Structure 1
Amino acid sequence: MTTRKREADNQSYHEEIVHIGQVMTRMRLLVGRRLIGRLAVQNVAPGLELSHLDVLDAVRRAETAGEVTVGAIAEILRIDPSRASRIVAEMVTRGVLRRKASQADARRIVVVITALGRKLVAEIKAQKLAIVQKVVKDWPPADVEAFATLFDRFISGYEQTFLPRKD
């Protein structure tokens, strides 16, 4: 490879990295508006706040590892335990979450998702799928497959770079 070719390749690579950064900013602005969550709340549980969806998602993700406590929710969301407790209490009042005694230690209280909460999770998933399908509806299947693979690889790398490791 000639020096000129290498320099041209480096310039092109740099321009693509800059472009990715610009696209990330556009996506952050779209995601920041929480369109999917707003639609789901409107359709299933009017009156819930978007912070409730964050807690619901934290419970959904954490329950795969076992029982979920308010402390675990606070840790996942990186919020004060007292704030997590208040949000959970609101969600219990609204019927999205339920508190119950731990099966492992009856002195400990755990948080579980109710049927209404599961319905809300399903609605969020349906809204997300509908939006993605609408965006890629005119893409060739090979492009959708390539994008899915590359986007997953990018997000996985992002998570590995910026999320703390659990040892």
Structure 2
Amino acid sequence: RVACDWGIDSSALEDKCGVCLGDGSQCSTVTGLFATGHGVGYKQVVEIPAGAFNVRVAEVSSARNFLALKGESGYYLNGDWYIKWSGEYVAGGSYVYYQRMNDTEEISIPGPVKEPLQVMLLFQVENPGVTWEYTIASENTTRTPEYQWEYLGWTPCTRTCGSGNQALKTPK
């Protein structure tokens, strides 16, 4: 087993921010509840900002309403009164996992999303509530790479003909 620190049999784990052996201080999780009971057509639940990850949106209980995702160029999911089946989709440059089961829906996006996404609710009946959450990096936080690969070529062969050795060059 190789952990996030690339150590074999290491027990190192990523924190909620995706930082190996981090303390969770480089990001924050934003949560909310959309509790507007009635509406007609599409209403905005929340706007997910560019850069957000670990996005989760879920109906609190069964309802015949539909969650939708809208980006800068239009709907990615359940827009214009066209409802899609459960499955994997792409929105905002990230995979979107959409699940409909027993009139309850959930959207999860590992992210990070590359553009702001509006989560919408298409009202059909009274809304029992929609919970949402996402994680976003703290301001002025930049992730520096922990490693960098550089190809330097091969060393000269130790012999001009047969049975010689060659190795990859290493930085000095």
TM range (shorter): under 0.3
Q: TM-score if structure 1 supplies the norm length?
A: 0.26
Larger fraction in helix: 1
Higher RCO (CA-CA < 8 Å; seq separation 6+): 2
Q: Structure 2 length normalisation: TM-score?
A: 0.26
From the CA coordinates, give the structure whose radius of gyration is larger: 2
